[in-house]
Structure 1
Amino acid sequence: MSLPPRDPGEVPAQTAEVAYLAFPKGCLCMRLREVLGPVFRDEDFAGLYPVRGKPGWSPAQLALVSILQFTEGLSDRQAAAAVRARIDWKFLLGLELTDAGFDHSLLSEFRDRNIKGRDPERLLDLLLDRMRKAGLLKRPGQQRTDSTHVLAAVRRLNRLELTAEHLRAALNALATVAPEWLAATVPVDWFDRYGRRIENYRLPRAEQERTAYFEQTGQDGVLLLDAVHGPGSAPWLRELPQVRGLQSCWDQQYVMDGGRLRARTPKEMPPSHERLESPYDPDARYSIKRGCEWSGYKIHLTEVCDSDVPHLITHVTTTVATVTDVEVTEEIHSDLDTHGLLAGEHLVDRGYVSAALLANSQAAHGVELIGPIREDVTWQGRAGQGFDVDSFAIDWDNQQATCPQGHRSVRWKPHLGRYGHPESDVFFSPKYCLPCPVRSQCTGSKTGERKVTLGPREEHEAIRRARRDQQTDTWKQRYAARAGVEAAFGQGLRLCGLRRSRYRGVDKTRFQHVLTAAALNLLRTDAWLTETPLAKTRTSRFRRLRPQ
């Protein structure tokens, strides 16, 4: 399929006439076409198509249909039907009323091309550039970011189900490509044991029987892996994704102990960021945050929050569930800075903030990171009494500290901390610490002296400033705007199914989130054009009765 670029041109006269008769007050698609014009051009997607072959449907129109599909939460079949039947969609796409549209499978093929092109965010970038030219987007003064969980398009499995289902997936894959070899290799009783989906209610109930089943599955998996890697099998069989997944699952779940295969104990299991959760989505990972458990991914949305422009989403990134928020802060800053969309103030929650980012964001990208810093975790800081780190006067130039009683430190020892981060341990003399009258407020040790651990100077001072500032009313008023980002997740959840992946794999889920962000931008642009006010925070009738 090749790409002969087409000039989008104007909306056909007959389509425009019927659309204005059907929607005399206008509608979302008509207003977007009048303000943005043709949103995409075929040349924008030239790198995704070869220059030879049968001409394909316009990728610019496929891109726009893919976004419209998410504004209403439609399936591929429903979106293709809307292109054929709906006047407002034909108006935005610039199609004749008699245009028969396309087969729904082209939408899946278009998504695959974008994912293989390794630049899925390009579609959102193109839309933002079009909105910038239309005067709807400028370099923001304030932005806010938050994340939420995304469920993978697979069911949760316990260990028995996970191992048996991995083995069943490998058997089904081998039965597809090498049926004769597999039929001659596996025992007859496997057809009953792994012939249908493994579900917990069909598994043994007693603990001893479940343990025996788990060990039997492990031995069967080893038998199959030995056969696949044996001299009588084709070498390419071991390269099947399902076979490689089976090998990885067995490495994680079992271990050879004295020549005998046994299940790993929970302490012997790999960390969650490495552990497989399903044979059908190898990218999904298990995570837990504030009591919420899920297997899948995490989405991070960044939106403009200036009052004089629509609150457009300028950045979206998708990670596996185990990636922490603070790990993506620098990536967000770099990407937004590259596209000229980084605001002067970036409002985030506690998960995105670290001492290093507070100290370096202004110098590296010219952005002020505004978010609550973690409280002092020492017992003095948690108790709110005693002498915490901030109670000590630090002379960084001379590498010396002075305690609240006026005694100076005797040793300053730089080293690398637990995670390879530079730190310095500052020690005081037992000569002064042991007889000190306020010793109980300084250290819990009965016989030792006080030791203070410091981070690098810039980070230490940044933390002290942040903790001091976040106690002021001025800071709280600035930070109050961050709460509005929850509206983006609420809107995405209601209209686009934001917290549930439609597809399997992190790459496809990432492109789904790009389409979701683009769809929300179209909806928000239309709300801005029609001057629709922002919805007020919903408050229950009972809560309204609360005395002020």
Structure 2
Amino acid sequence: MNARGRQRTDSTHVLGAVRSLNRLECVTETLRAALNALASAAPEWLRVHADPAWLERYDRRAGDHDVPQGEAKRRAHAEQIGRDGHQLLAAIMAPGAPIWLRQIPAVELLRQAWLQNFSIIGDDPAAGPEATPLVRWRTDQEGFPPSLLMVASPYDPQVHYAKKQSTIWIGYKVHLTETCDEGGPHLITHVETTPAPVVDRDALEDIHEALEAKGLLPDTHLVDAGYVAADQLVASRRKGVTLLGPAPKDYQWQARSGEGFTVQDFLLDWEREVAICPARRESRSWGPDYHQGRTAFKVRFSTSDCRPCPLKRQCTRSARRLLTLRPREEHETLEAARTREAQPTFARDYRQRAGIEGTISAGVRVLHLRRSRYIGLAKTHLQHVLTAAAMNLIRLGAWFADTPLARTRQSAFTKLMMAPIPA
């Protein structure tokens, strides 16, 4: 295998080996799972501290109970579950309770789920000397933790909710990387399994590090737009890898209209930290801006220059023009990638990426790649590695048997329209 050849990567969703639960079902099932865990680990303690009413509420899984209809009744139902969970957690955290109860995984998961889904707004004055917390079911207005932290199932804490375009699922994501040089078998070189909410570009560095450790880092890496970002273009280049894929677009109105002045129309003097606009006016300030762990630069022009400028309508709809720049290396690398994408050779070279979609299709149709058979990320990843190994064995067998690669299937209409017209 040519380690410095071409490889291609794509990802697909993987359904966890648990039922998909809505938020109300999830908290109900999380409390039920904690009660079952305590019933096995500390039966005598639980018998003393459990509310007899819990037997009717949590004897069956959440989906088997009737959920009240109507927003107000559903909220009241959810907050009753919240009070029950807080009552159990208060008993576990009480000074006289065994310390080891807090270390039971189902109890820790219950604590996390209650922090994420309920707010304590005080004590119930009607509860007497034993204060019962007043809890409120969290709403979208109050906000939730990111999906990567949100508990999605008490039975597999590592599955998470994710959405990609029209696909919504709870589980994981798998990235397959394979060789695509002509004249050799197309073998899968790496499998990366991640939590579902991890975006593709954030998995790319781990993929490159794993390939480098195996001595299989490619010269050109073909990927779709989800893997391409300015910082990833720079990081890949530093490893000697050309990341080939659609570069992020400029979505400012100036670029979308095709009639306004984009960043490319400004002369950037990085040493002096000055930008010069198409009207030959210099910027008044150039300063760093930190957002979500990333560094950018805000470049502002003077209002007194922008307002009377005859080119203002092509430049800005505000009182003055503001540019947001990435660090210099990222900015220049991204501009080079956009220029490369406009060249005719890009489409020809990028056409090779399409084959990875066939690999994922084969894994899904033949080896059930999109369904985890196991609980937990580690076991799910092992399943994916074994799946990739099986696919490689099939491909090696076909290669040694001189079986030609299958051509992309086409519909009858496509075949008809693409066929040459008889003379």
TM-score (normalised: structure 2): 0.92
What RMSD in Å do the two structures reach over aligned CA positions? 1.8
Inter-partner Cα distance in structure 2 for 1:313 and 1:547: 32
- Hey, what does 1:475 align to over in structure 2? 346
Specify which of 29, 42, 67 is matched with residue 203 of structure 1.
67
Specify which of 321, 332, 336 is matched with residue 465 of structure 1.
336
How is 1:382-531 mapped onto 2 (pairs within 5 angstroms)? 382-405=256-279, 407-445=280-318, 448-531=319-402
Aligned-pair identity in percent equals: 48
Note closer, same or farther for the CA distance 1:473–1:210 as it changes in structure 2 (3 Å cut).
same
Note closer, same or farther for the CA distance 1:428–1:219 as it changes in structure 2 (3 Å cut).
closer
Contact 1:161 1:200 in 2 (8 A): no
Moved more, 144-153 or 205-214: 205-214
Tell me how far 1:140 sits from its aligned partner: 4.2
**1:250-278 residue CA offsets vs partner (Å, 9 max, x unmatched):** 11111111332111122332221111001
Note closer, same or farther for the CA distance 1:401–1:413 as it changes in structure 2 (3 Å cut).
closer
Tell me how far 1:324 sits from its aligned partner: 1.0
- Hey, what does 1:17 align to over in structure 2? none
Inter-partner Cα distance in structure 1 for 2:271 and 2:343: 30
Specify which of 348, 368, 385 is matched with residue 223 of structure 2.
348
Contact 2:273 2:286 in 1 (8 A): no
- Hey, what does 1:109 align to over in structure 2? none
How is 1:165-180 mapped onto 2 (pairs within 5 angstroms)? 165-180=29-44
**1:17-36 residue CA offsets vs partner (Å, 9 max, x unmatched):** xxxxxxxxxxxxxxxxxxxx
Inter-partner Cα distance in structure 2 for 1:386 and 1:172: 63
Task: Give the number of aligned pairs.
Answer: 408
- The residue identity in structure 1 corresponding to 2:352 is A
Helix, strand or coil at the partner of 1:417: strand
- Hey, what does 1:261 align to over in structure 2? 135
Moved more, 413-422 or 495-504: 413-422
- The residue identity in structure 2 corresponding to 1:437 is P
- Hey, what does 1:319 align to over in structure 2? 194
How is 1:308-387 mapped onto 2 (pairs within 5 angstroms)? 308-362=183-237, 364-387=238-261
Note closer, same or farther for the CA distance 1:248–1:432 as it changes in structure 2 (3 Å cut).
closer
Specify which of 9, 13, 28 is matched with residue 164 of structure 1.
28
Tell me how far 1:338 sits from its aligned partner: 1.8
Helix, strand or coil at the partner of 1:183: helix
Contact 1:391 1:404 in 2 (8 A): yes
Contact 2:178 2:190 in 1 (8 A): yes
Bigger proportion of residues as strand = 2
Contact 1:140 1:306 in 2 (8 A): no
How is 1:274-313 mapped onto 2 (pairs within 5 angstroms)? 274-313=149-188
Helix, strand or coil at the partner of 2:372: coil
Inter-partner Cα distance in structure 2 for 1:430 and 1:206: 54
Note closer, same or farther for the CA distance 1:194–1:434 as it changes in structure 2 (3 Å cut).
same
- The residue identity in structure 1 corresponding to 2:69 is R
Contact 1:393 1:401 in 2 (8 A): yes
Note closer, same or farther for the CA distance 1:212–1:339 as it changes in structure 2 (3 Å cut).
same
**1:335-374 residue CA offsets vs partner (Å, 9 max, x unmatched):** 2112110111011111111112223422x21111111111
Inter-partner Cα distance in structure 1 for 2:232 and 2:161: 27
Which structure has the bigger radius of gyration? 1
Tell me how far 1:454 sits from its aligned partner: 1.7
Note closer, same or farther for the CA distance 1:429–1:248 as it changes in structure 2 (3 Å cut).
closer
Helix, strand or coil at the partner of 1:258: strand
Moved more, 419-428 or 491-500: 419-428
Tell me how far 1:507 sits from its aligned partner: 1.3
Contact 1:361 1:369 in 2 (8 A): yes
Helix, strand or coil at the partner of 1:408: coil
Inter-partner Cα distance in structure 1 for 2:83 and 2:405: 60
Contact 2:12 2:370 in 1 (8 A): yes
- Hey, what does 1:100 align to over in structure 2? none
Contact 1:409 1:426 in 2 (8 A): no
Helix, strand or coil at the partner of 1:351: helix
Specify which of 512, 534, 537 is matched with residue 408 of structure 2.
537
Inter-partner Cα distance in structure 1 for 2:305 and 2:67: 67
Helix, strand or coil at the partner of 1:503: coil
Tell me how far 1:429 sits from its aligned partner: 3.5
Contact 2:281 2:305 in 1 (8 A): no
- The residue identity in structure 1 corresponding to 2:313 is S
Contact 1:394 1:400 in 2 (8 A): yes
Tell me how far 1:527 sits from its aligned partner: 1.3
Tell me how far 1:469 sits from its aligned partner: 1.2
Unaligned runs of 5+ in 1: 1-136
Contact 2:274 2:286 in 1 (8 A): no
Inter-partner Cα distance in structure 2 for 1:235 and 1:258: 26
Note closer, same or farther for the CA distance 1:228–1:428 as it changes in structure 2 (3 Å cut).
closer
Contact 2:285 2:301 in 1 (8 A): no
Tell me how far 1:288 sits from its aligned partner: 0.6
Inter-partner Cα distance in structure 1 for 2:174 and 2:23: 27
Tell me how far 1:393 sits from its aligned partner: 1.8
- Hey, what does 1:234 align to over in structure 2? 98
Tell me how far 1:148 sits from its aligned partner: 0.8
Inter-partner Cα distance in structure 2 for 1:333 and 1:286: 26
**1:114-163 residue CA offsets vs partner (Å, 9 max, x unmatched):** xxxxxxxxxxxxxxxxxxxxxxx331410111111111111111222111
- The residue identity in structure 2 corresponding to 1:457 is R
- Hey, what does 1:47 align to over in structure 2? none
Inter-partner Cα distance in structure 1 for 2:5 and 2:157: 40
